[in-house]
Amino acid sequence: MSSCFNGGISISLFGESHGKGIGVVLDNLPSGEVIDLEKIGAFMARRAPKKDGTSTTRNEKDIPEILSGLYEGRTTGTPLAAVIFNTDQHSGDYGNISHIARPAHADYTGFLRYNGANDPRGGGHFSGRITAPLCFAGAVCAQILKHRGITTGAHIQSIKDVADERFDPVNVTAEQLEQVKSRHFPTLSETAEEKMREVINAARMDLNSVGGIVECAVVGFPAGIGSPMMDGLENVISQLVFAIPAVKGIEFGNGFDCADIFGSDNNDDFTVRDGKIVTKTNNHGGILGGISSGMPIIFRAAFKPTPSISRPQNSVDFKDMTDRELIIKGRHDPCVVPRAVPCVEAALNIALVSALLKNPRI
C-alpha cells in the first residue's frame, strides 16, 4: 500500500498536489482523548510556507476540516478523517513539463509505476503537499502523547555546512523541546539561524537550493515499549520518516559516528539515579533492541536539496525518449528543511502512538 501505515494505529493518506483535496484517515486511535484544534492549527502552521524568503510564495492555508472521529472535542475511537481542500494551484505552471522528467523528482519513476496514469500536475501524490495531512495526523498524535507526559520536538541540525548546536542526548528537557518548537525558524542557536538564513537566501538568489539535517528528540517516553527485530522503534520510525519526500538517511543516537569509535567508548554505562535506571551517556539514542530504554530518544534525518531549481537542467522526455533541456517554473522552496521539521515530528509521533498501542497488556 503506498500511503497506508498499519501499526498500533492505521494511517491512510490521500491526495494529489493539484487535485480537489488531500487528507488522512486515522483508525484505532484511543477514545476519549481531548483534541485541541488550535494546537493542531499551530502544528500545521509550522509546516506552512514561511513569508521570509526561505520557502515558496504559494499560499497554502491548509486548514483541515475534520469530518469524523471527534465528538464534543474528544476522539470517538472510531476513524478520524480530515480533509484539506486545495485552493491555490497554478496547474498551468506544470503543463509544459509533464513528460520531461524533473531531475531528483519522481516524475519518471511515477510514470513507470503507474503506467502513465498518475496525476502529473505538481508531482501528484508524490508532492510534498501530502505532508500536510501527515502533519495533521502527527499533530493529533502529539496531543495523545502529551496526555501521557511525552514530548517530541525537532530542530534544524544543519543547513548545508552551517550547523546548529545539538540536543544534549542525556539532559534534553521537554521545556527545551517546546521552546524550539515555538521558534519561527527552529534552531537551538540564534547565530545558527542567522547563518542558515543567509545560506538559504544565497541559494535562492542563485536559482539554487540547499538541504540539511533535522534532529529530533523525545522526552518522557516510558521504558520498555517497542519490540525486537522487525517491529522495533527504529524500524517503525524509519519506515515513517522515509515517507517524507527528500529524506535520504536516518540515524539513531550517535548514528554513523558509532562506526568510528571503540566499544568501550560507545557502550553507555547503566547506573541508578533518583531511584531510576539510566545510562550515563546516550549513544544508543534511547533505544536498545528496538525497545525504549527510558533515556531520550534521539535521531537525525538527512534531507536533500529541493530538487526543483530554476536553472536550466538536462533531462529527457520519457515519452519520446529524447534528451531535452528543462526549465522548471513555479514557486519553490529553496530549502525544504525548515518546513520539514514538523513533518519529522509528525512521523515520529505516529510511530510512538503506534508503539504504545502495540504493547500488550491484557
Say whether residue 6 binds its own copies (CB under 8 A).
yes
Taking CB under 8 A as the rule, which mask of x and - marks residues 230-269 in contact with its own copies?
A: xxx-xxx-xxx-xx-x-xxxxxxxxxx-xxxxxxx-xxxx
Q: Quick one: which of 41, 49, 79, 330 contacts its own copies (CB under 8 A)?
A: 79
Angle between helices 131-146 and 37-47 (to 10 degrees): 140
Q: Quick one: which of 292, 338, 343, 345 contacts its own copies (CB under 8 A)?
A: 292
Residue list 189-208, contact with its own copies (CB under 8 A): 203, 208
Say whether residue 136 binds its own copies (CB under 8 A).
no
Separation between Cα atoms, residue 258 and residue 266, nearest integer Å:
7
Residue nearer to its own copies on the CB measure, 43 or 252: 252
Q: How is residue 220 written as a grid cell?
A: 518522557
Say whether residue 330 binds its own copies (CB under 8 A).
no
Residue list 14-73, contact with its own copies (CB under 8 A): 14-16, 19-23, 25, 27-28, 30-32, 65-69, 71
Say whether residue 274 binds its own copies (CB under 8 A).
no
Q: How is residue 58 written as a grid cell?
A: 504559494
Scanning 37-45, 52-60, 179-187, 303-311 for contacts with its own copies by CB under 8 A, the matching segment is 303-311
Q: What is the dihedral of CA 352, 353, 358, 360, to 10 degrees?
A: 100
Burial 154-170 (b: 16+ CB within 10 A, else e): bbbbbbbebbbeebebe
Q: Quick one: which of 212, 296, 338, 342 contacts its own copies (CB under 8 A)?
A: 212
Separation between Cα atoms, residue 36 and residue 217, nearest integer Å:
23
259, 282, 251: which is closest to 344 by C-alpha?
A: 251
DSSP summary character for residue 164: -
Say whether residue 152 binds its own copies (CB under 8 A).
no
Residue nearer to its own copies on the CB measure, 88 or 175: 88
Looking up cell 520518516 gives 241
Scanning 39-47, 51-59, 98-106, 173-181 for contacts with its own copies by CB under 8 A, the matching segment is 98-106
Say whether residue 115 binds its own copies (CB under 8 A).
yes
Separation between Cα atoms, residue 2 and residue 15, nearest integer Å:
12
